[in-house]
Amino acid sequence: MEGKLKWMDKQLGRMTGLFALVGSLGVMTLMIIIMIAVIWRYGINNPIFGIGDLSVLVLSVVAAASVIFGARNNAHVSIDIISRFFGWKVIRYTDALMRLLTIGILATASYALVVKACGFEKGCITENLSIVHRPFYYLLAVSMGLFTLQVVLELLRGLIRFNIPPHLQSGDD
């Protein structure tokens, strides 16, 4: 089972790398869009129509990339209060419960982004250029789906090592 988890982790790492590349390109594109918008607005005194739409859509790509990248690199904020009051025997149960709840929330969010995101006909396009949001929702849904797989991977690792105290577990995840 450990071998399969390592393979799954490696594949998830590759997908995360792809999202990191896309997110990096998105940040560079966003910087260029903002620079052009500022020059046109203040230098030429003629704002570009629809530049805000482009900025929002590129920012949604960056947000989608940062969700899975943050999940893989433990960049999301968490507060560990339980471990101050209880030992690892309690924490292993609370961690499993928390991961199950997280999987449920992320799976629901992914489903909603794919199936229900464009429920309002006029709410599914940008304000000025009428660019459809649906592909960007799908990208965010894939990112949330990868985040779900990351949490499933962490849950399975935790279940495999359920009866092993943390100080005796190997650190090569």
Taking only the tens place, the pLDDT of each residue in 27-73 is: 999 999 999 999 998 888 888 898 989 999 999 999 999 999 999 98
Structural domain range at position 79: 2-165
**How sure is the predictor about 120, in pLDDT bands with cuts at 50, 70 and 90?**
low
pLDDT score, position 123:
64
> Whole-prediction pTM value?
0.82
pLDDT digits (tens, 9 = 90+) for 122-151: 567 778 888 888 888 899 999 999 999 999
Domain-located, residue 37: yes
Domain-located, residue 132: yes
Domain-located, residue 170: no
Domain-located, residue 108: yes
SS3 sequence of the chain: CHHHHHHHHHHHHHHHHHHHHHHHHHHHHHHHHHHHHHHHHHHCCCCCCCHHHHHHHHHHHHHHHHHHHHHHCCCCCCCCCHHHHCCHHHHHHHHHHHHHHHHHHHHHHHHHHHHHCCCCCHHHECCCCCCECHHHHHHHHHHHHHHHHHHHHHHHHHHHCCCCCHHHCCCCC
Q: How many domains does the chain have?
A: 1
pLDDT score, position 167:
57
Domain-located, residue 83: yes
